Chains A and B, each alone.
Chain A
């Protein structure tokens, strides 16, 4: 199939471009809090992000990629003309990419996930037929866009409440921080590790029983917590700065925790967002190689690697500037607050990734930050911007859909 090579090449180009965009822009949200709070330097943040974004994409990105690839469009209706799916997925990638470009030029806060899902639904509903869309699944996805920020907000609220009660409001915040922060480290490490083991390892060919998975996750998390607490015990108060800022050393203790949650956030981000770039690519590859739509095969590992690699390149070339800029703007997210937001968001995202639901990682993080705010943790949140995010949330789906329909008919007319 001569045309197959052309399709795969095009899809790979569009997909890598999307992955690059995700690495350049969205990763900043996962890492900037750590940089802003000086828990990590820019260089360390890039390194952490590169490693954990890649691991997240490769180890835990398969489920969401599968959903994008074959969960939204009912491919059984395409029996005779599988090339329609190829045109559609190419159109969806191009549409989402274009919409993101337009949006960022105009400063609109839009989500990559919303764009790509809107685009896929758009080409399928109009280009193939209303029946081709698995509306049940799409309904679940759209519901999750409401539920995920609420969930992460609620978790963040609870976590931050415990931080205040146990540590910040106590008579000796530093002693309490040294006692409880390792517990939070354990919780963060446990959640991320467990989801990875349960959902990710089968993509790399390992199978572990459920009980063993839990034991392994507890073991790894405990090891990280012990290591963290050794680092924490070494932190000595600086009386000179303490006099002016009583929580200075306490925040440094939380900084250790923040390194762990930042890793978790980067991992979670990679696991969910890589699908936006390579889900359509994976669909194109399957159809182009086999000439038919197989619902059985799983996402090839090398495609996940391409996606993870694209994100890392985006991060290295352009993302570092965005991290620096965003980091400067979010100094209100001190380690004690930032970790609560990151842990809540990362937990919500990895669970969504494990269940194969593409959610907006940024919206989830915004929800978490609002949760910390509701727990009276943030000094000032601009509700106008929150409103604008809600509007762009609603606008993005039809916009992505419209562009995808346009590109779909162009491709259908132009491509062989």
Chain B
């Protein structure tokens, strides 16, 4: 029997979106261990972590496709479907950048110059923090839906996003400092390695950029 009541509900994107950001963060989180191993030259361990990153990125990708599949245009939702899809896209990019950067490092068995390794790890951790804060913000999505995107819950999420912005600014500062430090020693490096080192810093920094864009997307939802 086709039940009228049951069928008028489309599948809610809220829980899946929260699950997706969990995956994206879990993926980004692996970078700390990955770079620690890489700096120590433990390539077996790095390879192991990299395959975990790969798995998580795939899982996030699959979930992204599934969410899209279940969000047809005929759905009537409190917020525009496009905004939710955009949010999903930037969440996914957190995992993508994680995979990219770990791919470059492992593929070239890159040695992070000892002079900047500690500074670099701090920078990575701060990017992971940004992803974590993005996850914390997105996890409020179900509460936002319950509260109809108004009232005290909106203030709470706004604060979370402000904190996310602060973390992102911090990663920008750290990125600039790191580049300056790399510039100081770049003549001592193999030119190709130096170029790739710059690229690794750039791509890692994009994780926080994407996290910040998650915040921007959430903010758009709040303004509806």
Beta-carbon contact of B9 and A362 below 8 Å: no
Contacts of A378 in B (CB 8 A): 9, 76, 78
Which B residues from 136 to 176 make CB contacts under 8 A with A? 139, 142-143, 145-153
Contacts of B192 in A (CB 8 A): none
Minimal Cβ-Cβ distance residue in B for A171: B152
Interface residues of B, count at CB 8 A: 33
Interface residues of A, count at CB 8 A: 50
Contacts of A104 in B (CB 8 A): 1-2
Contacts A29-B4, A164-B147, A247-B143 given; does A376 touch B78 at CB 8 Å: yes
B7 interfacial by beta-carbon distance below 8 Å:
yes
Contacts of B8 in A (CB 8 A): 366, 369-370, 381-382, 385-386, 389
Beta-carbon contact of B9 and A332 below 8 Å: yes
Contacts of A164 in B (CB 8 A): 147-148, 150-151
Measured in the bound complex, the distance between the Cα atoms of B153 and A170 in whole Å is 8
Which B residues from 64 to 121 make CB contacts under 8 A with A? 71-72, 74-78
Contacts A245-B142, A379-B13, A380-B13 given; does A169 touch B5 at CB 8 Å: no
Beta-carbon contact of A245 and B148 below 8 Å: no
A380 in complex: contacting residue of B12, B147, B148, B152, CB < 8 Å: B12
Measured in the bound complex, the distance between the Cα atoms of B5 and A28 in whole Å is 9
A37 interfacial by beta-carbon distance below 8 Å:
no
Beta-carbon contact of B3 and A169 below 8 Å: no
Beta-carbon contact of A383 and B5 below 8 Å: no
Beta-carbon contact of A109 and B151 below 8 Å: no
Contacts of B5 in A (CB 8 A): 28-29, 32, 326, 330, 362, 365-366, 369
Contacts of B12 in A (CB 8 A): 331-332, 379-380
Mask of A346-390 contacts with B, CB within 8 angstroms, 1/0: 000000000000000011011001100101111111111110010
Minimal Cβ-Cβ distance residue in A for B7: A385
Does more than half of chain B's interface fall in helix, strand or loop, or is it mixed? Answer: loop
Beta-carbon contact of B4 and A380 below 8 Å: no
Most chain B beta carbons < 10 A, residue from A104, A173, A336: A173
A108 interfacial by beta-carbon distance below 8 Å:
yes
A202 interfacial by beta-carbon distance below 8 Å:
no
Minimal Cβ-Cβ distance residue in B for A386: B8
Measured in the bound complex, the distance between the Cα atoms of B72 and A376 in whole Å is 18
Contacts A32-B6, A385-B8, A386-B8 given; does A169 touch B148 at CB 8 Å: yes
Beta-carbon contact of B152 and A169 below 8 Å: yes
Most chain A beta carbons < 10 A, residue from B10, B13, B72: B10
> Closest Cβ of chain A: how far from B17's Cβ, in Å?
10
Contacts of A381 in B (CB 8 A): 8-10, 75-77
Binding site for B on A (CB under 8 A): 25, 28-29, 32, 103-104, 106-109, 164, 168-171, 173, 244-247, 322, 325-326, 329-334, 336, 362-363, 365-366, 369-370, 373, 375-386, 389
State the 8 A-B residue pairs at the shortest beta-carbon distance, nearest first. A169-B151, A380-B10, A376-B78, A107-B2, A379-B12, A329-B6, A382-B10, A109-B4
